[in-house]
Chain A
Amino acid sequence: MSAEVGAGSAQRRAIRVTVNGVVYERVVEPRLLLSDFLRHELGLTGTHVGCEHGVCGACTVLVNGEPARSCLMLAVQADGLAIETVESLAPDEERLHPLQQAFWDRHGLQCGFCTPGLLMLLKSFLAENPSPSEEEVREAISGNLCRCTGYQNIVAAALEAARLLREPVAG
């Protein structure tokens, strides 16, 4: 549980958050957004920030396995919770996660601004729906804006990733 540190107008709290399996302990102001905590305090700049009012989906991360807007959560609210960001996907420097591979192969990104949010959303969506229809994919990603691709290739990449995740290639 987060504890109050110091008094006065700049109330700060000690928090303990697990991000991509690593436990971080920090003292933060309650008004610090989770998105800014990840980017500025932890240097995990893979989580992008677009609108900062919940509309674009670029900042989507997993909170205890569920996709959520990190711009609509306070860092202090993540105390004791497990956060996953896009940095957790690739197993190492050489290899990509099947979702990333599918986005690469199917041209699911152009500028890449929306990509981290889409990847994290799709990670949890495909875990719950391993064989989605095209329509279900479109509904699932309806809250993630992309200004480049026209979505066609994102949907194709999501369906391809679903296939890859269902039938992992040996080796």
Chain B
Amino acid sequence: MKPPRFQYHVPESLDEALGLLAELGADAKPLAGGQSLVPLLNMRLARPGHLLDLNRVAELDYLTERDGGLALGAMTRQRAVERSALIRDRCPLLAQAIRYVGHLPIRTRGTIGGSVAHADPAAELPGVLAALDGRITLQSRSSTRVLDPADFFLGVLASAATPEELVTEIWLPAVPERTGQVWLEVARRHGDYALVGLGASVTLDGDGTISEARLALIGVGPVPVRARRAEERLRGEWPATSLFREAGRLVSAEIQPETDVHATSEYRRRVAAVLTERALAEATRQITRETVE
């Protein structure tokens, strides 16, 4: 197999990359880790006239604390996130989720920005952004915008990025005090795209009641979905198995998964309920363990 012919560009700075994009427009495709784009080229499902290789734009490869959270440059490798002690400490949800992104030799090349820009409905990173209300920065030669996940992810493999824009950074809030975060998913095989994936973040008040609950699911719709009704139900309540079971029922009622070759809609609803119940129990266990220690 061979990709179709294209003109190859290797900018060495962000300015140069954005300048090229502005000139070449929709006929150019950015090449990040290549773990989704090169298969499309090999199968000739994508035929861009120009490839803009971002792998030498070193200024987009960083991982740092900023504004009470973590800023990750678009060209940060997924494997670097997996290895980062800072991520494990400040954003346990991302640290857990990243290990489900493909396989080890995919994550060594695959990038944060590429995964977000690709906007696969079963991809983990968009789910983490949705669960934590992260932010996505888009830059073109003439503008910079910062979007919420709900405004960025528009559909299956569709985002708000225009052909002249690059995803340059994502930002995630640091984990608050007395908070447990859990990523769970069900796939046919470890590393396959999720049939259903779930990110949960639970914060307990000083008196032990739930002050904040966040639940985001992937694989159950065209974009990552927040389970708002279940979150609402959990707030202000005491953690309890019966409450978590009810939250699971609410989640499976409020999502609208499709049936496809991998699983039926009904099966996905059932899995979502079970994962919700388990994730909530594990998240609260994490907090009680911490306070006991």
Interface residues of A (CB under 8 A from B): 1-2, 9-11, 13, 29-33, 36, 52-54, 57, 60, 63, 66-69, 71-74, 76-77, 121, 125, 138-140, 142-144
- A69 near B5 with CB under 8 A, answer no
In the complex, the chain A residue whose C-beta lies closest to that of B83 is: A128
- A66 near B34 with CB under 8 A, answer no
A53-B42, A67-B104, A143-B102 in contact; A73/B189 too (CB < 8 A)? no
Q: Choose among A76, A138, A142 the residue that contacts B8 (Cβ–Cβ < 8 A).
A: A76
A72-B35, A142-B191 in contact; A66/B10 too (CB < 8 A)? no
19 contacts between A and B (CB under 8 A): A11-B7, A31-B2, A32-B2, A33-B42, A36-B2, A54-B35, A66-B79, A66-B108, A68-B105, A69-B105, A69-B109, A72-B34, A73-B109, A74-B53, A77-B34, A121-B105, A139-B190, A143-B102, A143-B106
A30-B8, A31-B5, A73-B34 in contact; A57/B105 too (CB < 8 A)? yes
- A54 near B8 with CB under 8 A, answer no
CB-defined interface of B1-16 with A at 8 Å, one 1/0 digit per residue? 1111111101000000
In the complex, the chain B residue whose C-beta lies closest to that of A52 is: B1
Per the 8 Å Cβ criterion, residues 132-178 of B in contact with A are none
Judged by a CB distance under 8 angstroms, whether B43 is at the interface is yes
- What A residues does B191 contact at CB under 8 A? 142-143
The 10 residue pairs across chains A and B that have the minimum distance between CB atoms: A143-B103, A30-B8, A53-B39, A67-B105, A66-B108, A72-B38, A52-B1, A31-B3, A142-B191, A142-B190
What is the interface of chain A mostly: helix, strand, loop, or mixed?
A: mixed
Judged by a CB distance under 8 angstroms, whether B117 is at the interface is no
What is the interface of chain B mostly: helix, strand, loop, or mixed?
A: loop
New A-B pairs, 8, CB < 8 Å, besides A69-B106, A72-B38, A77-B55: A11-B7, A73-B109, A74-B8, A76-B10, A76-B53, A142-B190, A143-B102, A143-B106
Interface residues of B (CB under 8 A from A): 1-8, 10, 34-35, 38-39, 41-43, 51, 53, 55, 79, 102-106, 108-109, 189-191
In the complex, the chain A residue whose C-beta lies closest to that of B10 is: A2
A2-B10, A54-B38, A73-B34 in contact; A30/B51 too (CB < 8 A)? yes
- What B residues does A33 contact at CB under 8 A? 1-3, 38, 42
Q: Choose among B41, B79, B104 the residue that contacts A121 (Cβ–Cβ < 8 A).
A: B104
> How many angstroms from the CA of A72 to the CA of B8 in the assembled complex?
15
In the complex, the chain A residue whose C-beta lies closest to that of B37 is: A72
- What B residues does A66 contact at CB under 8 A? 79, 105, 108
- A68 near B108 with CB under 8 A, answer yes
How near does chain B come to A161, taking the closest CB pair, in angstroms? 17
- What A residues does B102 contact at CB under 8 A? 143
In the complex, the chain A residue whose C-beta lies closest to that of B103 is: A143
- What A residues does B39 contact at CB under 8 A? 53-54, 72
In the complex, the chain A residue whose C-beta lies closest to that of B45 is: A53
Residue among A72, A73, A142 having the largest count of chain B Cβ atoms under 10 Å: A72
How near does chain B come to A51, taking the closest CB pair, in angstroms? 9
> How many angstroms from the CA of A121 to the CA of B108 in the assembled complex?
11
- What A residues does B5 contact at CB under 8 A? 9-10, 29, 31
> How many angstroms from the CA of A13 to the CA of B6 in the assembled complex?
13
How near does chain A come to B84, taking the closest CB pair, in angstroms? 15
How near does chain B come to A73, taking the closest CB pair, in angstroms? 6
Residue among A30, A54, A77, A142 having the largest count of chain B Cβ atoms under 10 Å: A54
- What B residues does A144 contact at CB under 8 A? 103
